[in-house]
Amino acid sequence: MVLGLRLHSALYPSWGLACLLPRSFASCPGKSDSCLMMPQLGLLHRRAWASLLGQLRRPPGAVCIRAVHSHSQVAEATLTSQLKPHEEKSNFIIKTPKGTRDLSPQQMVVREKILDMVVSCFKRHGAKGLDTPAFELKEMLTEKYGEDSMLIYDLKDQGGELLSLRYDLTVPFARYLAMNKVKKMKRYHVGKDFDIAGQFDPMIPDAECLKIMCEILSGLQLGDFLIKVNDRRILDGIFAVCGIPESKFHAICSSIDKLDKMSWKDVRHEMVAKKGLAPEVADRVGDYVQCHGGVSLVEQMFQDSGLSQNQHALEGLRDLKLLFEYLTLFGVAEKISFDLSLARGLDYYTGVIYEAVLLQTSARAGEEPLNVGSVAAGGRYDGLVGMFDPKGHKVPCVGLSIGVERIFSIVEQRMKTFGEKIRTTETEVFVATPQKNFLQERLKLIAELWDAGIKAELMYKNNPKLLTQLHYCENMGIPLMVIIGEQELKEGVIKLRSVASREEVAIKRENLVAEIQKQLSKS
Amino acid sequence: MVLGLRLHSALYPSWGLACLLPRSFASCPGKSDSCLMMPQLGLLHRRAWASLLGQLRRPPGAVCIRAVHSHSQVAEATLTSQLKPHEEKSNFIIKTPKGTRDLSPQQMVVREKILDMVVSCFKRHGAKGLDTPAFELKEMLTEKYGEDSMLIYDLKDQGGELLSLRYDLTVPFARYLAMNKVKKMKRYHVGKDFDIAGQFDPMIPDAECLKIMCEILSGLQLGDFLIKVNDRRILDGIFAVCGIPESKFHAICSSIDKLDKMSWKDVRHEMVAKKGLAPEVADRVGDYVQCHGGVSLVEQMFQDSGLSQNQHALEGLRDLKLLFEYLTLFGVAEKISFDLSLARGLDYYTGVIYEAVLLQTSARAGEEPLNVGSVAAGGRYDGLVGMFDPKGHKVPCVGLSIGVERIFSIVEQRMKTFGEKIRTTETEVFVATPQKNFLQERLKLIAELWDAGIKAELMYKNNPKLLTQLHYCENMGIPLMVIIGEQELKEGVIKLRSVASREEVAIKRENLVAEIQKQLSKS
């Protein structure tokens, strides 16, 4: 809200046609047909993307986009290199690296609006900005991600330290807290991660994280959404109750995490055949993880003969009950679903976990259904900072990550469908002349405008045609035109033209800046 | 201007104490004591920095900062890893990679202000945003940078294409133009590069680039500055007139480029001993490259018996003359110096080149002189797009790059010296209570504020003390406090307190949002 809402409502039609995709592609590496955008860095293949900037907190869970981008969009052209005319070169393809793409001015405008909206929400909730390097020492990233570790990008050794590209923003944040002995902090990172670190009364920061996700997803007008919530301790409780040995908890958790893109049958098969679970144990797990519902399901699980005997599960259930209470006070409880199949792939979660998905709405004319899946996710990670601290001091943390790139794809796709036009510049005034040999006067005039903070352009030609200048303003959506010619110069005036209404008024030169500012403030 | 100027004037004292450092560290690799910040990516060692984001257009020319950062600033702590209690771990150091650092909330605020200011200037001049991936195919970057090529970072082969981190933003921009067959474009990139592509009447876009550099450097209030201007064709003319074979032009250009950090004697030695120039040839070059002055020096060079016979040099001089004419109309000619020693290291320049340096002003009390050097640079590169185009079609380009990281260091250093305090959050209202068991009411109240777009915080405690809440507001600079207790609840009011004046008024609950917005708009 606050920032850029007006533009948002113009840009995003308020109906959402995104269909509900499998929740997560976590632990499903090597999908080479998936293609993702990188903030500030253009577009990278999912692996590189997740490595470098961690789009969703616990990627690549909610990172892949299928069917939205395809490599055919990457323009390719064979060329004979002409680097140096006197050298012979073999043919090469001019293209961006596999899975990456450039962001055009139109795309940049959309991205900027989305990021502005997300950051303004983080600021509304009192978060401080923080940034960490794109690289970390390789050892900082080891044993934090579970099965995802194999997706981390290493840099070529430059004769010094072993470096890896960061895989998400959470592990670097925990490293920062431990390194600087920070015990409390509310931060946001690169416009899409938000975390609250510190020891507080239970579930208040957790509830705020979910409230933030609701504010952002409502504000972006992406259509209806749902936030699935679960707790790692409840999952652990289920595993224990079903008779899974503790050493297999992480591995089974990874399997459960695939339930959004694999059938229960396939997940069950993986648990039995690959992870060595007895079939009847797997079936018991299946009975639990296929449940979902509201706060009443929390109550029901309290009564469950197995879970009610498990200390971990009880702690998780108690927290979820409190969480639902706070979410009701925040007015967002109806957006939340307690979903026992939600696992989140990464190792570092210790408590509540959550993931937002867009709900498919009925298809409207002209809009193709989109496969989108999860657009925001997060959870509590109370042990991660302690892994970095010399004395193992813990700093409890809870956070969330907005799937900015996925949201961007949805909005972009929608705008394509509706053929919406976006201004890619913000130019307010165009400096024109109907006469030859007036470059000097135009240059003097435009410098005055620039120096007054007015966004202004002119044609880089000694003698442009007036019609060409008019057309340029119309095509680019520039609202005002100032015109200077011999007559105006003699009389000490400038013609100010409204491009839309085609009205022209003569303004005294010394009043021009004030008049332009007045006209701009009106529109 | 336009954006954030008010904050700038508060943040940056208007006197400048940056001393004039050697212009460029180009072709001077391996300075492991230099340490640089990366936009969005934290901080990286100069090589990585230059590779990844190309701070100054033609880095690492103006990229290194000496004496501003040192590695001692990087907090280090030895720790015994406690990743998994049951495993034994060897000791390791918790730190960021060599030459990188985290950006704290304070630093992020300063960075954001600087970037806002730079981007608002680019937008004022009608530029569109554009972004390209962080990686390029390795072959896209070869033979574009001359001696700097050895500084490019390669990624480990992941079993696919050979990739390198981008080294600057110019070569990717040229690749983008050729790939998409764009013939005309004014763009900015990641908030610090600005380019104008297209065939236009001579020197109009070039003059605009210099005007933009002046606007930004004045707007940032860094103290006095000077922009050195030269032309590659004039340098080529000098080399030809002095009797250097054409095959050595690039190599000698690289040597000349070091004149800002090496004496003429040392540069001469390099040219003679390493690059095989005859001593008398080197001396003839020396006579030229030690000249600098205003537009009158351009006139003088027109009369030079050698240069006036050289076609390349004459073209360059004619363009510079026109450039000075336009810069006079823009009102910035007095900031420009024609400097024959300016070479810019990179291979791709074809015409006018320029570089802005801060001038040392007399040291004021408490402020240490800073070694800063070049803070912005650029030039014309008419051949680069043609290198990528299948048919060799050329798109003439001219551009500039702002040394955002160097500027950031200067401002940061200055603020440290003056002990200036920065708010790291933008919170407007704090929701407090003097009573126990009021969490529920506080949560309901703060959700109302958030939903109205008001930036609000509360304490994550069931029963916080009122004094603690008051102190928090004072420490964080939060201007307003809303207080709810039993009395207020009963009367349907909320107390609104101004933290600075300590005045309290009771506001009807239904009028609270409007009243807060009124108070905030006043301040």
pLDDT recorded at residue B39? 29
Mapped onto helix, strand or coil, the DSSP state of residue A138 is helix
ipTM, two decimals, is 0.76
Confidence of residue B47 (pLDDT cuts 50, 70, 90): very low
pLDDT recorded at residue B15? 22
| Closest alpha carbon to B16 in B362, B336, B334, B355 | B362
B149-175 mean pLDDT: 81
Confidence of residue B60 (pLDDT cuts 50, 70, 90): very low
DSSP-derived letter for residue B402 is E
Beta bridge partners of A371: A19
- Judged by a CB distance cut-off of 8 A, whether residue A480 touches chain B is no
Residue numbering of the annotated binding site of B for L-histidine:
168-170, 195, 344, 348-349
B484-488 mean pLDDT: 96
Q: pLDDT, tens digit, for every residue of B6-19?
A: 222 222 222 222 22
Is A442 assigned a ligand-binding role in the annotation?
no
Q: Is the pLDDT of residue A427 over 60?
A: yes
* Whether B330 and A43 lie within 8 Å, measured CB to CB: no
pLDDT recorded at residue B370? 52
* CB interface of A with B, residues 247-306, below 8 Å: none
pLDDT recorded at residue A15? 22
Q: Tell me how far CA of residue B426 lies from CA of A117, A123, B101, B196, B430, in angstroms.
A: 15, 6, 25, 36, 11
More confident residue, A483 or B28: A483
How far is the alpha carbon of A25 from chain B, nearest alpha carbon, in Å?
Answer: 20
Bridge-based pairing of strands B42-45 and B35-38 is antiparallel
Report phi then psi at A225, rounded to 5: -145, 165
Residues of B in contact with A128 (CB under 8 A): 105, 108, 424-425
Peptide bond into B60 cis (omega under 30): yes
Of A123, A211, A392, the CB nearest to B447: A211
Is A167 assigned a ligand-binding role in the annotation?
no
Of A75, A132, A175, the CB nearest to B94: A175
C-alpha A151: how far from its chain's center? Answer: 20
Answer yes or no: are the C-beta atoms of B82 and B92 closer than 8 Å: no
Q: pLDDT, tens digit, for every residue of B411-437?
A: 888 888 888 788 899 999 999 999 999
Q: pLDDT, tens digit, for every residue of B232-285?
A: 999 999 999 999 999 999 889 889 988 888 999 999 999 999 999 999 999 999
E strand or H helix that includes residue B229: strand B225-231
pLDDT recorded at residue A44? 32
A47-55 mean pLDDT: 31
Handedness of CA B5, B218, A454, A511 (dihedral sign): positive
* Whether A160 and B47 lie within 8 Å, measured CB to CB: no
Report phi then psi at B92, rounded to 5: -145, 160
Residue numbering of the annotated binding site of B:
168-170, 195, 344, 348-349
| Closest alpha carbon to B60 in B74, B46, B41 | B46
More confident residue, B254 or B371: B254
* CB interface of B with A, residues 88-127, below 8 Å: 92, 94-98, 100-105, 108-109, 112, 123-127
Residues of A in contact with B101 (CB under 8 A): 133
* Whether A128 and B200 lie within 8 Å, measured CB to CB: no
pLDDT recorded at residue B53? 29
Confidence of residue A161 (pLDDT cuts 50, 70, 90): confident
B444-457 mean pLDDT: 95
More confident residue, A153 or B335: B335
pLDDT recorded at residue A325? 96
pLDDT recorded at residue A192? 80
Report phi then psi at A356, rounded to 5: -100, 135
Q: Is the pLDDT of residue B347 over 90?
A: no
E strand or H helix that includes residue B141: helix B138-141
Residues of B in contact with A109 (CB under 8 A): 129
Q: Is the pLDDT of residue B438 over 90?
A: yes
Which pair of structure tokens corresponds to residue A211? 């409230």
The nearest alpha carbon in chain A to B4 belongs to A453
Which pair of structure tokens corresponds to residue B77? 């702590």
The nearest alpha carbon in chain A to B142 belongs to A83
Handedness of CA B464, B470, B475, B481 (dihedral sign): positive
More confident residue, B249 or B98: B249
E strand or H helix that includes residue B364: none
More confident residue, B156 or B294: B294
Q: DSSP readout, B294-342? A: SHHHHHHHHH-TTGGG-HHHHHHHHHHHHHHHHHHHTT-GGGEEEETT-
* Whether B390 and A100 lie within 8 Å, measured CB to CB: no
- Judged by a CB distance cut-off of 8 A, whether residue A419 touches chain B is no
* Whether B450 and A101 lie within 8 Å, measured CB to CB: no
d(CA A117, CA B207): 36
List all residues 6 or more positions away from B454 whose beta carbon is below 8 Å from its beta carbon: A124, B428, B429, B513, B516, B517, B520
**What b/e sequence results for B461-482 when a residue is b if at least 16 CB atoms lie within 10 Å of its CB, and e otherwise?**
eeebeeeebbebbeeeebbbbb
Residues of A in contact with B136 (CB under 8 A): 96-97
How far is the alpha carbon of A212 from chain B, nearest alpha carbon, in Å?
Answer: 9
* Whether B38 and A180 lie within 8 Å, measured CB to CB: no
Other CB atoms within 10 Å distance of the CB of residue A125? 22
Q: Is the pLDDT of residue A462 over 70?
A: yes
* Whether A130 and B427 lie within 8 Å, measured CB to CB: no
* CB interface of A with B, residues 300-329, below 8 Å: 326, 329
pLDDT recorded at residue A306? 93
More confident residue, B373 or A274: A274
pLDDT recorded at residue A91? 59
A198-220 mean pLDDT: 94
E strand or H helix that includes residue A513: helix A512-522
Express as a percent the part of chain B with pLDDT over 90: 51
Highest mean pLDDT: which range of A157-161, A516-520, B246-250: A516-520
pLDDT recorded at residue B516? 97
Q: pLDDT, tens digit, for every residue of B179-220?
A: 888 888 888 887 689 999 999 999 999 999 999 999 999 998
What would the 3-class secondary structure string for B39-86 be?
Answer: CCCEEEEHHHHHHHHCCCCCCCCCCCCCCCCCHHHCCCEEEECCCCCC
Q: pLDDT, tens digit, for every residue of A361-387?
A: 544 545 554 556 789 999 999 999 988
The nearest alpha carbon in chain B to A462 belongs to B201
- Judged by a CB distance cut-off of 8 A, whether residue B176 touches chain A is yes
Residues of B in contact with A443 (CB under 8 A): 204, 207, 326, 329-330
d(CA B480, CA B503): 10
Mapped onto helix, strand or coil, the DSSP state of residue B210 is helix
Answer yes or no: are the C-beta atoms of A480 and A457 closer than 8 Å: no
DSSP E strands in A245-289: the ranges are none
Q: What is the pTM of this model?
A: 0.77
The nearest alpha carbon in chain B to A394 belongs to B82
List all residues 6 or more positions away from A518 whose beta carbon is below 8 Å from its beta carbon: none
Q: Tell me how far CA of residue B22 lies from CA of A110, A282, B19, B221, B259, in angstroms.
A: 41, 70, 10, 21, 8
A195-219 mean pLDDT: 94
- Judged by a CB distance cut-off of 8 A, whether residue A229 touches chain B is no
Pick among B3, B37, B78, B83 to test the A interface (most A CBs inside 10 A): B83
> Comparing A170-179, A510-519, B72-81, B342-351, which segment has the lowest mean pLDDT?
B72-81
* Whether A134 and B158 lie within 8 Å, measured CB to CB: no
Of A97, A135, A187, the CB nearest to B135: A97
Mean pLDDT of chain B: 79
Answer yes or no: are the C-beta atoms of B479 and B428 closer than 8 Å: yes
- Judged by a CB distance cut-off of 8 A, whether residue A160 touches chain B is yes
pLDDT recorded at residue A390? 80
Mapped onto helix, strand or coil, the DSSP state of residue A193 is strand
Q: Is the pLDDT of residue A119 over 70?
A: yes
Q: Is the pLDDT of residue B79 over 50?
A: no
Highest mean pLDDT: which range of A404-418, B80-94, B498-512: B498-512
Q: Is the pLDDT of residue A79 over 50?
A: no
Q: Is the pLDDT of residue A267 over 60?
A: yes
Q: Is the pLDDT of residue A146 over 80?
A: no
A336-340 mean pLDDT: 96
Q: Is the pLDDT of residue A293 over 80?
A: yes
Is A259 assigned a ligand-binding role in the annotation?
no
Confidence of residue A65 (pLDDT cuts 50, 70, 90): very low
- Judged by a CB distance cut-off of 8 A, whether residue B198 touches chain A is yes
Residue that has been written with the tokens 């009771």 in this structure:
B506
